[in-house]
Structure 1
Amino acid sequence: MRHRFVVIFLLVGGLMASSLCFAAQVEKKAAPAAYDFKGLMQKILDAWSTLDPAKAASFYAQEANRVFYDLAPLKYTGWKEYAEGVPKVLADYASLRLTVGKDATVHQRGNFTWGTTTWHADAVKKDGSKEAMEGRWTVLWEKRGDDWLVVHEHFSVPLGPPPAKK
């Protein structure tokens, strides 16, 4: 009887141990590969810092129905409209340096990832005057093949304080 109890105990223990190992292997395979989205955020801002939308194009989905919210105008529909509109907004600038904030966060769910961050910009206008600004950015990526492409973003600055009441 005692021998039978020991054998059953060893069999149950062995089954439990092997199932834990199997579960760990399944969990390992199911976890998505780590990707440096915060680094990708900075690469995208570096591309925009060139003032040339063509440098940023490879980071964006090219479909005509994609919506992108930037500083101005209210919205761009499709990459083509975005690429044609941004140079008009940036026409007065000689240089731009955009930096991702330290508060950048990303959330990945399979082939979809969203990120949020604040950003800082240092700009020099063609007349030599300088501007600095702080803003916020929400970006949505979709994995297509080996690439993570921006399928939507909202890039903005907060409104200034309301005018003083008289």
Structure 2
Amino acid sequence: MTSTSYEPITMLAGNDLAVFKQLVQDYCASWSTRTGEPDFEQAGRFYAPDPDIIYYDNGLPRDGHQGWENLKVGLLTNVYPNLASLEWIPWDIWAQRRGNLAWTGFNWRITARAKDGTVDEREGRMTILWEQRDGAWLIVHEHSSVPYEPPLQ
């Protein structure tokens, strides 16, 4: 029988946690917009450039977006055309790390204002997998969800 040794998973705290809290806050702010379209150059700096990475967001397609460029096109097509503004606020941010991989989780609230004046507010949660490359933490996977709320009986 062979024994495999793994580097321990560390729940981050203090300055180490502060780094990831700032990353998550900056990441959410990069998708927020007062003009109806985010700064894709700013948002793109968080993502690894690999074309085969899968990103899941709350919208279509169900099988996710493959690569940053496809994620950007999908959001431009399905989310941002009808928006006048979007505010994305994260809270309860936590982070764990093993070597050059880290993952963050957080709750979020989005307030989206459509061009027709309607407002949609929703809350959800998100997990992001980060990989440290050349000293920078880049997103190599993300998954966002909105918890199921059963109908009132």
Alpha carbons 1:71, 1:156 under 8 Å: kept: yes
Aligned twin of 1:59:
46
Identify which of 74, 82, 86 aligns with 1:85: 74
Aligned twin of 2:32:
49
Letter matched to residue 157 of structure 1: V
- Bigger proportion of residues as helix: 1
* Structure 2 unaligned spans of 5+: 1-14
Q: Over residues 16-55 of structure 1, what are the superposed CA-to-partner deviations in whole Å (9 max), with x where a residue is unaligned?
A: xxxxxxxxxxxxxxxxx83610111010000011332332
Q: How big is the shift at 1:108?
A: 1.3
For the aligned residues, what is the CA RMSD? 1.8
CA distance in structure 2 between the partners assigned to 1:158 and 1:114 by the alignment: 20
Question: TM-score with structure 2 length normalisation?
Answer: 0.79
Q: How big is the shift at 1:128?
A: 1.0
Letter matched to residue 117 of structure 1: F
CA distance in structure 2 between the partners assigned to 1:154 and 1:40 by the alignment: 16
CA distance in structure 2 between the partners assigned to 1:163 and 1:114 by the alignment: 35
Q: Residues 132-143 of structure 1 correspond to what in structure 2 (within 5 A)?
A: 132-143=121-132
| Structure having the higher Rg | 1
Aligned twin of 1:71:
58
- Bigger proportion of residues as strand: 2
Aligned sequence identity (%): 37
Aligned twin of 1:153:
142
Alpha carbons 1:54, 1:83 under 8 Å: kept: no
Letter matched to residue 86 of structure 2: L
SS of residue paired to 2:81: coil
Alpha carbons 1:70, 1:154 under 8 Å: kept: yes
Letter matched to residue 99 of structure 1: I
- Whether 1:95 and 2:85 are equivalent positions in the alignment is yes
